[in-house]
Structure 1
Amino acid sequence: MNSESRERAGRFVQLHQQGCFLLPNAWDVGSARILESAGFPAVATTSAGVAFSLGRPDHDFFSEQAPEDRVDRETMLRRVREIADEVTVPLSADLEDGYGEAPETVATTISMALAAGAAGGNIEDFTGDRKGPLYDPALAADRIRAARAAVDAGGEPFVLVGRTDVLLVGGTLDECIRRANAYLAAGADCAFVPGAADATTIGTLVRELDGPLNVVMGLTGGTLSLDDLRELGVRRVTVGGSIARAMYRHLLSAARELADRGTFSYADDQIPQSDLNHLFQPRP
Structure 2
Amino acid sequence: MSVSVAQKRAEFRKLHESGCFVLPNPWDIGSAQLLAGMGYKALASTSSGFAWSIGHRDNDVTCDDVIAHLTTLCAATDLPVNADFEGGFAHDPAGVAANVTRGVATGVAGLSIEDSTGDASKPLYEMSLAVERIRAARKAIDDSGADVMLVGRCESFLVGQPDLNATITRLVAYADAGAECLYAPGIKTKEQIVAVVKAVAPKPVNLLVGAPGLTVREVADMGVRRISVGGALARVAWGAFLRTARDLAENGSFAEFAHAVPHAEINGVFAKKA
State whether structure 2 residue 209 is matched by structure 1 residue 209: no
Alignment of structure 1 residues 169-188 onto 2, 5 Å: 169-188=160-179
1:257 and 1:266 in contact (8 A); partners too: yes
- After TM superposition, the score normalised by the length of structure 1 is 0.92
Aligned-residue identity in percent: 37
Number of residue pairs aligned between Structure 1 and Structure 2: 271
Cα root mean square deviation, aligned: 1.5
| Residue type at the aligned position of 1:54 | I
Within 5 A, what are the aligned runs for 1:28-67? 28-59=28-59
Partner of 2:102: 112
Letter in 2 for 1:37: G
Deviation string for 1:40-98 (max 9, x for gaps)?
A: 00000000000100111112xxxxxxxxxx11010111111111111010011100000
Q: What's the offset of the Cα at 1:282?
A: 4.9
Give the SS at the match of 1:25.
coil
Q: Distance in 1 between matches of 2:200 and 2:39?
A: 30
Q: Which runs of 4+ in 1 moved over 3 A?
A: none
Q: What TM-score do the two structures reach when normalised by structure 2?
A: 0.95
Q: Aligned partners of 1:271, 1:228: CA distance in 2, in Å?
A: 31
Amino acid corresponding to residue 164 of structure 1 in structure 2: C
Contact 2:3–2:78, Cα closer than 8 Å, also in 1: no
Asked if 1:132 is matched to 2:108, the reply is no
SS at match of 1:26: coil
- How far off its partner does 1:159 sit? 1.0
Structure-2 separation of matches of 1:47 and 1:174: 27
Where structure 1 has 5 or more consecutive residues not aligned to the other structure, the ranges are 60-69
Unaligned residue ranges in structure 2 (runs of 5+): none
Measure the CA separation in 2 of the matches of 1:215 and 1:112.
26
1:110-135 deviation line (CA, Å, top 9, x unaligned): 11111111111110000011221101
> Structure 1's 227 and 3: CA in aligned 2 closer, same or farther, altered over 3 A?
closer
**AA in 2 matched with 1:157:** D
Residue identity matched to 2:154: T
Which whole-Å CA distance do the structure 2 matches of 1:41 and 1:108 have between them? Answer: 29
Structure 2: distance between partners of 1:237 and 1:136: 28
How far is 1:283 from its partner? 7.1
For residues 283 and 157 of structure 1, what CA distance do their matches in structure 2 show?
Answer: 32
Q: Which amino acid aligns with 2:39?
A: G
Letter in 1 for 2:187: A
Q: In 2 relative to 1, CA 151–39 (structure 1 residues): closer, same or farther, beyond 3 Å?
A: same
